Structure 1
């Protein structure tokens, strides 16, 4: 009886996701942002009414965010897309932020300039 060698390669989560997404090695990294100019009116600290959600938008198109009760804050880059801002986290998560007349709306939270 002839035995067939078995491949026992073990893949981590990132490797499996990269393979599922077509083998792109940078599939989980945020795409680089090349802004046309400085962000108009968005830079600075934004927060919800009780201060539990905070979003700091920098002039270099980077951002940092925090939510009370979460250990890890978010950081990455952002860009303007029509009536939205698109936040691209270092982990690959992308979050749309609606630009409204009186502030920003992100994941159900109304944010106001601090």
Structure 2
């Protein structure tokens, strides 16, 4: 298993429109276009699987595969 700390940092779609910042304290901030704090919440990583809980109650998940984050139909890279 890979430590969750290996996944902290900023993950970005190829067009730069979506940006996920995974903070080391288990929180995330998602930017969309010019909205720097479009979504915020907490996350947990188990192995290469990530679960998100947005502060508004929205939930989502994703997987890290070969240095790429696949989340809700998006492909994000560091």
- Match for 2:58 among 90, 93, 101? 93
**Paired residue total:** 76
- Match for 2:30 among 65, 75, 78? 65
Compared with structure 1, are the counterparts of its residues 102 and 39 closer, same or farther at alpha carbon in structure 2 (3 Å cutoff)?
A: closer
Q: Give TM-score scaled by structure 2 length.
A: 0.83
Q: 1:96 & 1:77 partners in 2: Cα distance?
A: 12
Q: Structure 2 unaligned runs (5+)?
A: none
Deviation digits for residues 21-70 of structure 1 (CA, Å, limit 9, x no counterpart): xxxxxxxxxxxxxxxxx722111111011101100000001000022276
* Stretch moving more, 76-85 or 90-99: 76-85
Q: Structure 1 unaligned runs (5+)?
A: 1-37
Deviation at 1:99, TM superposition (A): 1.2
Query: Relative contact order (alpha carbons < 8 A, sep ≥ 6): 1 or 2 greater?
Result: 2
Deviation at 1:71, TM superposition (A): 8.7
CA RMSD of aligned residues (A): 2.0
Between Structure 1 and Structure 2, the one with more strand by share is: 2
Q: 1:89 & 1:58 partners in 2: Cα distance?
A: 14
Q: Give TM-score scaled by structure 1 length.
A: 0.59
Structure 1 position 40 matched with structure 2 position 18:
no
